[in-house]
Amino acid sequence: MKYPRITIDPNQMGGVPCIRGLRIPVATVIGMIADGMKEEEILEAYPDLEPEDIREALRYAAEALQEEELPLRTT
């Protein structure tokens, strides 16, 4: 498996990608990073997370975006 720390279970959290089955969605971690939180702050907010969970969430999100076309708004 390419992302062993990312789990997708249709019976958990509606099947959204989570970190190691912890019910912490990848999107939550990415959103925290986007909001400017430092790794230490994220780990403090979610003590069950490990630094590698954050890095893998970023890699997973980056690849997920490459897989799909996003609508761009022209001005």
Domain ranges of the chain: 6-55
Structure tokens at 23: 């019910």
Alpha helix positions (H), 1-75: 26-34, 39-45, 51-67
Q: Tokens standing for 11?
A: 């019976």
Residue, of 73 and 6, whose pLDDT is higher: 6
Q: What is the pLDDT of residues 36-59, one digit of tens each?
A: 999 999 999 999 999 999 999 999
Question: Residue 14 in 3-state DSSP?
Answer: helix
Q: Provide the pLDDT for residue 4.
A: 95
Looking at CATH, the fold of the domain delimited by 6-55 is given as: Arc Repressor Mutant, subunit A (1.10.10)
pLDDT of residue 9: 95
Mean pLDDT taken over the chain: 92
pLDDT for residue 65: 85
